[in-house]
Amino acid sequence: MLLKSLVKPKERLVTVREDVTLEDALKVLEDSGYRCVPILDETGTMFRGNIYKMHIYRHKSRGGDMQLPVTTLLKNATKFVSVNAAFFNVFFSIKDLPFIAVLDANNKFYGILTHTRLLDMLSQSWNVNVGSYVLTVVSPGDRGDLAAIAKVITKYTNIASVISLDAQEGELVHRIMFTLPADVDEEKRDRIVKALHRKGYQVPEIEDLNHEV
């Protein structure tokens, strides 16, 4: 499964149990260097939520009792996904989090999916490391547009990857981003763009991956 291959399993994580104090949790966070770690139950199998270093610091700076249980400042208790969840759901669930907890088929804590790991995977799927140019092609969203655009491009070269960005509400166009393989030079790129224009497809943006910093 795609998601399972991206998850950092529980055995490789720093976690705290729900029965530790805020003082103990802060020491774990400071020693590990992480700004946030999962809180598990006393058996180490059930996800309770997350504890953030910043929340403990804020609590301490206000004279708060550091012997209170870590669950006092528990966050993100409902922020988790199943290891079998659809990738689309995972993508939007993790949006504002450094990581999201992943549960197994028995609802036990399996591990975490980090924001960084997800972005790395998307970068790899886009083939930016082995591509030459990314063409953003504007389409009216008519039936068969994707196939028609791909047919034009494949007269000249293979397609390394393609991502379709849905139009926002009220927009009448779609943006389709094609990554061209590394052997496409500037001359061939221009021929492809001209061929797309002849077919009525605009290319408002061309990203040169060879000169990305």
Spatial distance between the Cα atoms of 213 and 210, rounded to a whole number of angstroms: 9
- What is the residue-averaged pLDDT of the chain? 89
| Residue 127 binned pLDDT confidence (cut-offs 50, 70, 90) | low
Q: Residue 171: pLDDT above 60? A: no
Spatial separation of the C-alpha atoms in residues 43 and 181, rounded to whole Å: 50
Band (172; pLDDT cuts 50, 70, 90) = low
Instruction: Among 2-16, 26-40, 122-136, name the one with the lowest average pLDDT.
Output: 122-136
For residues 23 and 50, what is the distance between their CA atoms, to the nearest angstrom?
A: 15
Q: What is the DSSP string of 164-206?
A: EEPPPTT---EEEEEEEETT--HHHHHHHHHHHHHTT-EEEEE
Residues 177, 203: Cα–Cα separation, whole Å: 10
Per the CB < 8 A criterion, the answer to whether 49 and 55 are in contact is no
**3-state secondary structure labels for all residues of 51-72:** EEHHHHHHHHHCCCCCCCEHHH
- CATH numbers and ranges of domains, the chain: 2-118 (3.10.580.10), 127-211 (3.30.70.260)
Rounded alpha-carbon distances, angstroms, from residue 60 to 23, 34, 35, 83:
9, 18, 16, 36
CB-facing half-sphere around the CA of 169: CA atoms within 13 A: 0
Higher pLDDT: 213 or 117? It is: 117
Strand partners, 103: 82, 109
- H-helix or E-strand spanning residue 151: helix 145-153
Better-scored residue on pLDDT, 114 or 5: 114
Which residues lie below 8 Å from residue 80, measured CB to CB, with a gap of 6+? 47, 100, 101, 102, 103
Task: Look at residue 6 and tell me whether its pLDDT is greater than 90.
Answer: no
Query: Among 45, 54, 56, 113, which Cα is nearest to 79's?
Result: 113
Asked if the model's pLDDT at residue 46 lies above 80, the reply is yes
Tell me, yes or no, if the pTM score tops 0.85.
no
* Environment class of 194 (CB within 10 Å of its CB; exposed 0-12, middle 13-18, buried 19+): exposed
Residues 6+ apart with CB under 8 A from 153: 135, 159, 178, 180, 192, 196
**For 181-189, what is the mean pLDDT?**
94
